[in-house]
Chains A and B, each alone.
Chain A
Amino acid sequence: MFNYYPAPVARLIDELMKLPGVGPKSAQRLAFHLLNAPEKDAVGLAQSIVNARQKIKQCSVCANLTEQDPCSFCQDITRDDRILCIVEQPRDVIAMEKTREFKGKYHVLHGAISPIDGIGPEQLTVAQLLSRLQGSRVDEVVVATNPNVEGEATALYLARLLKPLGIKVTRIAHGLPVGGDLEYADEVTLAKAFEGRKEI
């Protein structure tokens, strides 16, 4: 096919198309926007991508994404190191932090067990978790994976794996969302919410 774009532009469009949710038309629009923008903006974007890629790595303790290793959560001595919260993704750490409820440490699995996609425990940071727990002071592990099939499978797996080590394994509660409507809650959620009722 004849290429209408000069080679560097075509390449830029190709690269942009690899981004999630960006099709050929959006990629073209973004490419021309970058070409028309002041040079420092475009170069700034390029440099920050390179920068982020090179400086960010997985923490050797908790597998969260970090600039320094171990990450700031793992180094923070004011955090309780007897309680560990296990999440699927680095962005879940941020979500948990926003609650300001949890003062322990984290572990990021980078995914969840998904039999349909052929993802088993080997593809997650489970081995790293186990070696970290050996000889640590952790006495409770809170499994905060997503409340869907993959997250539940992961939680059950971790419970089976960690309980023999004498560690208390807990699961975050399932219940009704704040501002939700009882009528539209599915029976599983409602049943779980009922099960986990609290005295007021």
Chain B
Amino acid sequence: MGKLYRVDALIIRARDFGEADKILTLYTKEYGKIQAIAKGVRKPTSRLRGGVQMFAHSRLLLYRGRSLDIVSQSESVESYGSLQEDLVRLVYASYLVELLDIAVPEREPNENLFLTTLLSLRLLLGDDPELVCRMFEIRLLYLLGYRPYLSGCMICRQVLGTGTFFLDSKAGGIVCAKCSGGRVENRISSGTIFVMQKLLSMDPRQIFRLKVSPEQRIELEKALENYLEYHLDRVVKAKKVLKGLIKI
């Protein structure tokens, strides 16, 4: 591999650096998460600028630098520009890429995750951004090897029915009320577990057909939030802002 290389990248983070530069965190199809510096992109006349905005899916030509790679050319494939026209979707998108950033280590390619992320961003423009986020969360867990066991109680093998279950982050799956030892948090009904299974197995473009009740949404959100926090060991900052904004 020469000094220049080409990547198919999603810009998941852009921090200001120096006078007019930005340090980008890219999630690439070829190399997973990498950092690169884009020089001069805060100036209006920069030729790189278009392809290095947040959430842009771009083809970039990178130059192997001594510490950080340098973006030398950029061409945007899809910019998801209309995400910026709706505050709630924008914050959901921020949440999604922050979660990705936290969850994946550097330089570990995962083409499926790359494609899932792009698809989720596109679906966020649709009618139900919340459900898209839930789908992304559970698929992220699946693709990174943290998929919760959802076919029945992990301890007594009781099959899914009408009873309630609990999502046990530590055990990595659901346990039934009897085996849970009197816990109260992360209650999850069979119906919600069914939704989780569907979110994993369905064609993502079809998920809007799922009927998810408001109670199930709350259960799903809480359970996945705790599960993600336990396995990633980090708090997603955008979540807090998201909760604050949805209220107004």
Spell out A's residues near B (CB within 8 Å). 21, 113-122, 148-149, 152-153, 156-157, 160-161, 177, 179-181, 184-189, 191
Contact = CB atoms under 8 A, between A and B. Distances in A.
B50 A187 contact: yes
B238 A116 contact: yes
A187 B76 CA distance: 8
A116 B18 contact: no
Contacts of B55: 149
A179 B47 CA distance: 12
A186 B237 contact: no
B158 interface: no
Contacts of A186: 49-51, 53, 56, 76, 79
A89 to B, nearest CB: 11
A168 B99 CA distance: 36
A149 B56 CA distance: 11
Give the interface centre of B13, B47, B87 by most chain A CB atoms within 10 Å. B87
Secondary structure class of chain A's binding surface, majority of residues: helix
Contacts of A160: 87, 248
Interface of B: 13-14, 18, 44-45, 47, 49-51, 53-56, 76, 79, 81, 84-87, 90-91, 94-95, 97-98, 237-238, 240-242, 244-245, 248
Contacts of B95: 115
Contacts of A120: 240-241, 244-245
Task: State the main secondary structure of chain B at its contact with A.
Answer: helix
Contact of B241 (A118, A181, A187, A189): A118
Contacts of B13: 116
Contact of A116 (B56, B87, B98, B248): B98
B47 A181 contact: yes
Nearest to A117: B237
A119 B15 CA distance: 14
A176 to B, nearest CB: 9
Nearest to A175: B44
Nearest to A176: B44
Contacts of B86: 156
Contacts of A185: 50
Contacts of A161: 248
Contacts of A114: 94
Contact of A188 (B81, B87, B244): B81
B17 to A, nearest CB: 9
B68 to A, nearest CB: 15
B241 A148 contact: no
A85 B54 CA distance: 25
Contacts of A148: 14, 53-54
B240 A118 contact: yes
Contact of B45 (A21, A157, A180): A180
Contacts of B98: 115-116
B47 A189 contact: no
A191 B81 contact: yes
Which 10 pairs of residues, A with B, have the shortest CB-CB distance?
A186-B50, A118-B237, A177-B44, A115-B94, A188-B81, A115-B238, A156-B87, A149-B54, A152-B84, A115-B241
